[in-house]
Amino acid sequence: MALILALESSCDDSAAALVSSDRQILAQAVVGQNEAHRPFGGVVPEIAARAHVEILPDLIRQVLHEAGVAIGEVDAIAATAGPGLIGGGMVGLLAGKGLALSAGKPLIAVNHLEGHALSPRLVDRSLDFPYLLLLASGGHCQLLEVRGVGDYRRLATTIDDAAGEAFDKAAKLLGLPYPGGPAIESLAAEGNAKAVPLPRPLVGSKEPHFSFAGLKGAVQRAVTSGEYGAADVAASFQQAVVDCFVDRTRRALTVSNAPSLVVAGGVAANCAVRSALQALAEQEGRRFSVPPAWLCTDNAAMIGWAGAERLAAGMIDGLDAPARARWPLDDSAEKVRGAGVKG
Ligand code: KG4
Ligand code: ZN
């Protein structure tokens, strides 16, 4: 049994966790920075990096204390090294390197997307490779065949906005607070999903990808028209995203024989998304798995679990491992129009 101390700092959540290779979360803590970024309507990279510097040391002390574990008893340090905001990535990775060096422990530089991709296996011990993954977060929207640790084939990505980004932009248009996903989801519960006619970009298309920019434009027009209530716009928008997810994932299932369908990333915390993908898996005769909502949004437990999986596979990194703003899971995937910076 290996014990991993994990750090996460790739966006606006500072997090630390102690996770074991037998799927125990001994302690974990996440501190969001929503209040610091809210006045700006989105994440300000410099504010995020400085906040990680202030928050992470206390979180590390806290999880070690809570679990009653000394740093010397840890088997490896896992730290997110990207992709994401480079300042935050550097803060967390350097903290991880310092701990690894001073305690004489191996360092594992974790790809944040791999953290999301492997997160369901932390809680679902019978989820085996390969599985088809819909990874929907604030920075990404991809369909990946997860074949093993470090072995990914990207089947689709977004040609413009990420799904979470679309939720955040729609929320802003509706005057809802950041982050937009949870705010849209609760307002949508009071609205009619059929009230506002909104497009479903690329639905039915032969190409595999996602697109959400046109949906944002349509939400903007619906809001400025003054014809619709905010709850109806939220519900209709959420349904449009769900319809895009289901259509694009159904298409991917025609080219992937993976026995399981998995959805992960912050947008997978959304109940409408979870139940629609579960229904799709049932229709298509695939096993379905989705992590609990707290494990979908950014956290360090998933980084610790990815660290445990990598440690077991002998994948450790040198202290020269770089922080990376862009770090695709599938290096061989061709760049898609407009998606160059999304990885
Ligand atoms: O995975 P995550 O926490 O961070 C990134 O790696 O980006 O995802 C954050 C994104 C945000 O855009 C947020 O609005 C969205 O996930 N999100 C949701 C929900 N909770 C978070 N979107 C829809 N419904 C939710 N309940
Ligand atoms: Zn994330």
For the domain covering 129-290, report its CATH number. Answer: 3.30.420.40
Q: Where are the domains of the chain?
A: 3-116+295-312, 129-290
Distance of CA 109 to the CA centre of its chain: 17
Q: What are the pocket residues of ligand 1 if the criterion is a CB atom closer than 6 Å to any ligand atom?
A: 11, 137-139, 164, 167-168, 179-182, 185, 265-267, 269-270, 297-298
Instruction: Reply yes or no: is the peptide bond before residue 197 cis, omega within 30 of 0.
Output: no
d(CA 59, CA 96): 13
Name the closest-CA residue to atom 14, ligand 1. 181
Q: Which ligand is nearest to the CA of 266?
A: 1
Tokens of 65: 């204390």
Give this prediction's pTM: 0.97
d(CA 156, CA 333): 9
Q: Which amino acid is at 278?
A: Q
Q: What is the pLDDT of residues 186-214, one digit of tens each?
A: 999 999 999 999 999 999 999 999 999 99
Number of Cβ atoms within 10 Å of the Cβ of 282:
12
Buried b (16+ CB within 10 A) or exposed e, 227-253: ebebbbbbbbbbbbbbebbbbbbebbb
pLDDT band at 322 (very low <50, low <70, confident <90, very high): very high
Nearby residues for ligand 2 (ion, Cβ within 5 Å): 137, 298
d(CA 244, CA 286): 19
Atom of ligand 1 nearest to the CA of 112: 6
Of the candidate CATH numbers 3.30.565.10, 3.90.550.10, 3.30.420.40, 3.40.50.150, the domain formed by 3-116+295-312 belongs to 3.30.420.40
Atom of ligand 1 nearest to the CA of 238: 23
Which of 31, 119, 167 has most ligand 1 atoms within 8 Å of its beta carbon, as the pocket-test mutant?
A: 167
d(CA 52, CA 39): 18
Q: Which amino acid is at 34?
A: N
Q: What is the pLDDT of residues 59-97, one digit of tens each?
A: 999 999 999 999 999 999 999 999 999 999 999 999 999
Q: What is the pLDDT of residues 258-311, one digit of tens each?
A: 999 999 999 999 999 999 999 999 999 999 999 999 999 999 999 999 999 999
Atom of ligand 1 nearest to the CA of 165: 12
Name the closest-CA residue to atom 3, ligand 1. 297
In CATH terms, are 3-116+295-312 and 129-290 the same topology? yes
Atom of ligand 1 nearest to the CA of 179: 14
Distance from residue 342's CA to the centre of ligand 2 (Å): 13
Under DSSP, the state recorded for 195 is S
H or E element in which residue 260 lies: strand 260-264
Distance of CA 103 to the CA centre of its chain: 30
